[in-house]
Structures are given as structure tokens and as C-alpha cells.
Structure 1
Amino acid sequence: MPKRGYHHGNLKQALVEAALTLIETKGPSGFTVAEAAKAAGVTPAAVYRHFNGRESLIAECALQGHRIFGDLMEHAYAGGHPTALAAFEATGRAYLAFARKFPGHYVAMFESGLSMQANPDLALAASRSRGVLETAAAELSKHIPEEKRPPASMFSAHIWALSHGVVELYARGTPGAKAPFPPEDLLETGIGIYLRGLGLIRPDS
């Protein structure tokens, strides 16, 4: 991969892009501020013009990731789907697509151990994408009798966990990534099993 350097006058973004590459290849704790600076083509001291240190740099990567993710989730949900079920399934596919296209952002967002309490902007951005999935779950839940309807937050959390598990195990080139089925199929069938259990999809005949 060509080296990403500081060539366009945007030092902050050059450092973010350098950090994203390092996060993708070495993990959020596997690189130093000096390495990020070197990859961006600047001195280590230049990093501190915009960031307090590595955690601050990673937090910016995560923040940008959550904003991209929120855009993708909203676009997936509002894509003119014929049914609430189709709209809901689209949000699950968007999760998988994001993890594949933006692996550095994904790791910064979900595997860096950042404190949401210490990063209110990050917490707000993260709540946006969760809110899309919860809205999709609430809309789909309207087809379940009220006395049997799970809370939308629980419904969406289950699908979020399923999506995250498929990504972690089978969609990111990790040791367990050799699955007998494509990740998209695993996610679709997993969501289908869950929705059948709620009575939202008829059992196979």
C-alpha cells in the first residue's frame, strides 16, 4: 500500500489516515505516536498540535468512523424498501459492509477500549447508528402482538451482537475466518432464525 503522507496542508487528517493504517495492521495498541508521525511524514512533535497523544488520535479515528457508519446505516434504512423487514435486513448488511470497507475505523470504534464517558462527541456519534437499528427494530416489532413484543432496544442489541460476531469471526481475515459459508449468508440466515423465533417470518414449509 502506498505511504500516506502529509502533502495537502491538512496535518490533522494526514495523521488520522496514518493512524488508521497502523490500527488496521498493528491494532490500536500496537503503534506509537512517533510511528504515526513518521507515516504521515511529519515530526512527532507535530502530532501534539492536534492531539494529546495516541488515545486522542485513536478517538478521532473512531469519531470519524462512527459518523461514516451512521451515514451508511441511515442510508441503508431509508433506501426505499418495500417492507419494514427489508429495511431492517438492510441495516444488518450495512454493518457488514462497513466493517469490510473501513477496517481501521471499525477497530478504532469497537476494539480500542475508548471511554465513551470521557468522549461525549464520540458517545453522541455512536448513539446515532445504534438509534437507526433500534428504530428499524421498533418498526418491525409493530407486527408482533404487544404482549409478546420485546423492547426495541433488546431486539436491536441482539441483531447488533449477531452482526458483530459474524464480522469478528468471519469477515475480517482473523484466524477463524475460514467459514463454510459467506459472511453475508451467515448474517442473513442468523437474522432469519431470530426473526422466525419472534414470529416475524413464517417457518420454512
Structure 2
Amino acid sequence: MEETDPRARKSYHHGNLREALAEAALKLVEEKGPLGFTMAEAARLAGVSPAAPYRHFRGREELIEEIARQGFEIFADRLERVVDDPLLSALTAFSMAGQVYIDFARAHPGHYAAMFESGIGLAGDPGLARASDRAMAVLVRLAERLMAHLPAARRPPARMVANHVWALSHGVVELFARGAPGSRAPYSAEEMLESGTGIYLRGLGIVPQ
């Protein structure tokens, strides 16, 4: 007789199978990585038959896409709380976006892995593409707000600035915030990101030297 996975859900409510499978897959991604589990394992952990996942997902890639979509939504929610905070200056809000990225990667390792380490593409899933675009749109808003004081002719493209800071944040997370290879550096991920962002913004003339 097949043993029941002790992590498996005891039951799920009717109509909630999709969420139960995504929850199970998220746990597996955290344990084994986005490519280290099978649909059968996700089904077993959700407490359903091996055939049940295919009512909602054509395969593992679609299941990972759902986890990634959830991750982008969580990330965008966190960014929007920063951009909508009336007590934060434009520079503080923009700088905090990088900290949001670090905090998200640490608090949601499964979502982060599905978003950036699974090899999925955005084009094949409209919901995933919308969620990713939403997160980027918040960063663009932050960049526009930060540069509003500059004459239009001197303003760098806001999307370029947003993309650069996203790339910088991602690099810092990968090298300094996730255990290797920079975990033994004499400075924290937060210090690396703050100094890098400051150098970048001063180099563009967005903030004073």
C-alpha cells in the first residue's frame, strides 16, 4: 500500500482544487526547486489522485506559471504599498523598492524560484504577463516620481531606470541575499543595494553628487 505523504492536505473544498495544487507545488518548489518535482508528487501532496491536476493544468509548466503569477502579484502588492505611502519622499520610496525585492526573495523563496529560476516564459500565459507588467509598472511610477523635478530634456527614460534598478536588485539578491556566493562578504545585501543604487542615480544626475 502506498504511504500517505505526511505533508498532504487532509481534504480540499469543492472548487478549490486549483489552489490546493498550487499550494502543494509551492512547497515542492521550496524543497526541490522548480524542476525537481513531478505532477504526481504535487497531486499526492494535495491529497488527490494523480489524474486530478490535469483538470486545471496541462502539465508542470502551467503549475509553475501559476506559482510565478502569484509571486508577481505579491511583489506588486508590496511595491504599491511603498509607492502609495504619502509619508515617503520620492527618493526614499524609490530606494525602498530594492529593499522590497530583497525582502520578497527571502520571505517567498518558492515564488521567487518559480518566477526567475524555472525557465518559464511570460508570453504563453496572459495572466502571468499581466502580473509581471503590473510589478514593472509600479517601478516605472516610482522612477517617474523620482525624476519629476528634472527638466524633460534631462530625464532618462523611466522604464530604463526601472529596468536597471530591477536588474541591480536581482543581482544583489542572487549574489548576496540567498546564501552564496557573496554571503561571506563584509557588507550586507542591503548595503550593497543602497550603495549601488546611489551610485547609479548620481551618475545619471537624478540626485545630487
TM-score, normalization by structure 2:
0.89
- Structure 1 residue 44 and structure 2 residue 50: aligned? yes
Counterpart amino acid of residue 113 in structure 1: G
Equivalent-residue separation in structure 2 for 1:200 and 1:81 (angstroms): 21
Unmatched segments (≥5 aa) in structure 2: 1-5
Residues 1:6 and 1:105: Cα distance change in structure 2 (over 3 Å): farther
Task: Show CA shifts across 1:3-24 (max 9, x none).
Answer: 2525342322221111112212
Q: Does 1:182 align with 2:188?
A: yes
Partner-residue secondary structure (3-state), 1:160: helix
Aligned length: 202
Tell me the equivalent position of 1:133.
139
Letter in 2 for 1:102: H
- What TM-score do you get using the length of structure 1 for normalisation? 0.90
Distance 1:37 1:25, change over 3 A: same
In structure 2, what is the equivalent of residue 79 of structure 1?
85
Q: Is the 8 A contact 1:19 1:57 kept in 2?
A: yes
Query: Partner residue of 1:69?
Result: 75
For 2:183 and 2:7, the matched residues in 1 are separated by 27
Distance 2:86 2:107 in 1: 23
Q: Indicate whether 1:149 and 2:155 are aligned.
A: yes
Aligned partner of residue 85 in structure 1, secondary structure: helix
The equivalent residue for 2:202 is: 196
Which whole-Å deviations, capped at 9, do the CAs of 1:142-171 have from their partners, x for residues lacking one? 233433321111111110000001111121
Q: Is the 8 A contact 2:65 2:114 kept in 1?
A: yes
User: Identical aligned pairs, as a percentage?
Assistant: 54
**3-state SS, counterpart of residue 181 of structure 1:** coil
**Cα shift readout 1:160-199 (whole Å, capped 9, x = no counterpart):** 0000011111212344433321211111111111112123
* Displacement of 1:72: 0.8
Distance in 1, matches of 2:8 and 2:79, equals 28
Q: Distance in 1 between matches of 2:46 and 2:59?
A: 15
Q: Is the 1:81–1:87 contact (alpha carbons within 8 Å) kept by the matching residues of 2?
A: no
Aligned counterpart for 2:109 among listed residues 87, 93, 103:
103
* Alignment RMSD: 1.8
Q: Does 1:56 align with 2:90?
A: no
Indicate whether 1:7 and 2:11 are aligned: yes
Measured in 2, the distance between the counterparts of 1:98 and 1:76 equals 13
Q: Which runs of 5+ in 1 are unaligned?
A: none
> Structure 1 55/181 Cα, relative in aligned 2: closer, same or farther at 3 Å?
same
